[in-house]
């Protein structure tokens, strides 16, 4: 039981780290403008590919709210990962 809970925590921590890195890197890499460092562009592309399945539903959910030019979907995705992690831990505690 403890190994399963630890695995869930580590996996969710990794997802949240990838989401935070994606958000931070988006400030420095703009694909429409020239990228001075190709490695940053590749890292940004990889982070987007890895996290987009989590961010897209959040973006669709938040599209009804008028947030202007700000995109809160990554923050919503981090909150969703935290919520799912907590729910999984509680469910495992109940089942076992």
> Which residues span the domain enclosing 47?
2-95
Distance of CA 6 to the CA centre of its chain: 19
Query: Structure pTM?
Result: 0.85
Q: Please write the tens of the pLDDT for every residue from 7-50.
A: 999 999 999 999 999 999 888 876 666 656 778 888 889 999 99
Residue 32's pLDDT is: 67
- Mean per-residue pLDDT of the chain: 88
Residue 96's pLDDT is: 76
Interhelix angle 38-62/73-95, nearest 10 degrees:
70
Cα radius of gyration rounded to whole Å, the chain: 16
Indicate the number of domains in the chain.
Answer: 1
Q: Please write the tens of the pLDDT for every residue from 47-96.
A: 999 999 999 999 999 888 877 778 899 999 999 999 999 999 999 888 87
Phi/psi-derived region of residue 68, left when phi > 0, alpha when psi is between -120 and 50, beta in every other case: left
- Which tokens belong to 67? 């947030």
Residue 1's pLDDT is: 63
């Amino acid at each position: 039981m403890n190994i399963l809970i630890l695995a869930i925590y580590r996996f969710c921590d990794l997802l949240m780290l990838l989401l935070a890195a994606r958000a931070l890197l988006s400030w420095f890499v703009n694909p429409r403008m020239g990228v001075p460092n190709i490695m940053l562009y590749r890292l940004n592309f990889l982070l987007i590919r890895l996290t987009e399945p989590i961010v897209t539903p959040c973006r669709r959910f938040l599209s009804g709210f008028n947030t202007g030019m700000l995109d809160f979907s990554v923050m919503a995705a981090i909150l969703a990962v935290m919520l799912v992690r907590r729910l999984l831990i509680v469910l495992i505690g109940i089942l076992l």
